[in-house]
Structure 1
Amino acid sequence: MVHDFIEQESSPPIFPASSNCLAMDHQAKYFALQEILGKMTEAEAKVLDSVLKHMRSNKEVEKTSSFKKWLVMNLKIDGFNASICQTSWVTSLGCPAGDYEYIEIIVLKEENGKTKSSRLIVDIEFRSQFELARPTPSYKELTDTLPTIFIGSEEKLNNIISLLCSAAKQSLRERGLYVPPWRTTTYMQSKWLKVTANSKNNIGYRENKEAKSGSHHGFSIWSPPMVKPKRRDLSSGGGGSALSSQFSNMGINCC
């Protein structure tokens, strides 16, 4: 509700130079999204069949943490290496703090005589993450195309995020609304995708609680760089403090 209220704070609408350009841009996004969603690997199809089977048998249960745990347990019974991932990040220079929970499955594949692992992201509330207050018809058509249950690789998800966030920005501006920080590509990526210390778009940190028990599943836990105290040169007469010197030498990642 808070998000919807802020999104309704209006600003002067930004109209495209040509409605034809807008229509062509939407058409390109629509077909690109269909192409991304239309490609499904054998591993993704097997996971989807298992998820749908169990969800049909438990229709009345709300999609809470308990339900996700129940689903993970049943996916494990079906032979999948499934676990719950919980990510969180702190506020950083205008980016609001947040947390999110989804399921991941580690898939092993033989390539050139070597076993490689990859992760599949399973989100049973996927479409709702991209919904906007007062969307344009074009944007609603895109979100209606999204599946309620997403199963796919990080690359596939990242392509969807980039496309939908660009369309969301256009939709909000057409409605004369500000683009809030939780609708940016960086914020949306932080829900599902890895963030490392070297990432230019790093939002503070992300934490995978599975990693605390020793099961990292490919996540990198971010920790702030160590800053060595800088000694104050008392012989110079003392302009400025050691603390201010430290701050001037620290790099801060932002959105």
Structure 2
Amino acid sequence: MDSLEEKVLSVFMDEEFSKGPNSNRSLEDYELEDGSDCQERTSYWESQEAMLQEILERYNSTGTKLREEVGRIIEMAKSFDFCSCLKPNSSDCSNCLRRQVVVLLCERGFQANLCISKWNHTKKFPGGSHEYIELMASTSTTKKKIPFLIELELKEQFQIAKASTEYWELISWLPEFFIGKPDYLTAIVRVMCDAAKISMKEKKIHMGPWRKTGFMQMKWSSGFTQKLTVDEPFDRPDSCLRISVAVT
């Protein structure tokens, strides 16, 4: 039988629920204008905030000890002179920081991988790639190890120019780092992308395909994988590359 957590999470993953209480209406049905104070607009933003808060409550209620420990390791990595680029910039080098975090996780006995999701250009979406960390961990409910995703730049993924006040309020609710199961991240992406669409419509700004839910979800996708050593190049054509860092 599914656990209570799994049942609740399945609700968040449902397409109809992700549209909010007015799920029988398309987002385009809202006649939102800049500065509008209509009841539908207020109801929409209140529903998005309520959904995001409930997702985050469920997210925070699982894997708490693991999240705290990984959080300490991330802060420790940030205190090091971790940047090894040709033009070092330790205060703003997310690529080197991710590698440093993986090294420290492995040193402490975690099974951690640096993942690179890559996708080709299509008529629907532009090509691209994204790096994140995958941590294999067990939970109190199962001994089988399950993947936890670590995204060091969660808020940055959803920032848009000239966003509405309500959209920035949603961003403020997001944790600085995401450390949790992929399903929770998928639920967050759906809420934030729906909200971004409305915010940009209010501001009469075109929404690029890279802001849409399908594109955003590809950033943390899994597909064909290949394990590499940390010294190997990262410009491989694979859909997803996993770099396993061996600590000696």
Whether TM exceeds 0.5 here: the answer is yes
Cα deviation, residue 50, structure 1: 2.8
Other-structure match for 2:109: 79
Other-structure match for 1:47: 67
Other-structure match for 1:90: 120
Q: Which amino acid aligns with 2:103?
A: M
Evaluate the alpha carbon distance shift between residue 76 and residue 57 of structure 1 in structure 2; reply closer, same or farther with a 3 A threshold. Answer: closer
Q: Secondary structure at the match of 1:100?
A: strand
Cα deviation, residue 109, structure 1: 4.8
Contact 2:67 2:180 survives alignment (8 Å): no
Pick one of 41, 47, 52 that aligns with 1:22.
41
Cα deviation, residue 117, structure 1: 2.7
Q: Secondary structure at the match of 1:155?
A: helix
Evaluate the alpha carbon distance shift between residue 81 and residue 43 of structure 1 in structure 2; reply closer, same or farther with a 3 A threshold. Answer: farther
TM-score normalised to structure 1 length: 0.66
Pick one of 139, 155, 178 that aligns with 2:167.
139
Pick one of 94, 99, 111 that aligns with 1:69.
99
Evaluate the alpha carbon distance shift between residue 182 and residue 123 of structure 1 in structure 2; reply closer, same or farther with a 3 A threshold. Answer: same
Contact 1:76 1:82 survives alignment (8 Å): yes
Evaluate the alpha carbon distance shift between residue 152 and residue 185 of structure 1 in structure 2; reply closer, same or farther with a 3 A threshold. Answer: same
Contact 2:189 2:217 survives alignment (8 Å): yes
Unpaired runs of 5+ in structure 2?
A: 1-29, 80-89, 225-236
Contact 1:44 1:152 survives alignment (8 Å): no
Evaluate the alpha carbon distance shift between residue 149 and residue 50 of structure 1 in structure 2; reply closer, same or farther with a 3 A threshold. Answer: same
Q: Secondary structure at the match of 1:176?
A: coil
CA distance in structure 2 between the aligned counterparts of 1:14 and 1:24, rounded to whole angstroms: 13
CA distance in structure 1 between the aligned counterparts of 2:37 and 2:77, rounded to whole angstroms: 50
Cα displacement string for residues 133-190 of structure 1 (whole angstroms, at most 9, x for unaligned residues): 1001111110111112111111101110110000000000011111110010000000
Q: Which amino acid aligns with 1:80?
A: F
| Pair 1:171 & 2:199 matched | yes
| Pair 1:105 & 2:135 matched | yes
Other-structure match for 2:178: 150
Unpaired runs of 5+ in structure 1?
A: 1-12, 197-204, 214-255
The alignment's C-alpha RMSD in Å is 2.7
Other-structure match for 1:194: 222
Evaluate the alpha carbon distance shift between residue 123 and residue 54 of structure 1 in structure 2; reply closer, same or farther with a 3 A threshold. Answer: closer
Identity of aligned pairs, percent? 25
- Number of residues of Structure 1 aligned to a counterpart in Structure 2: 190
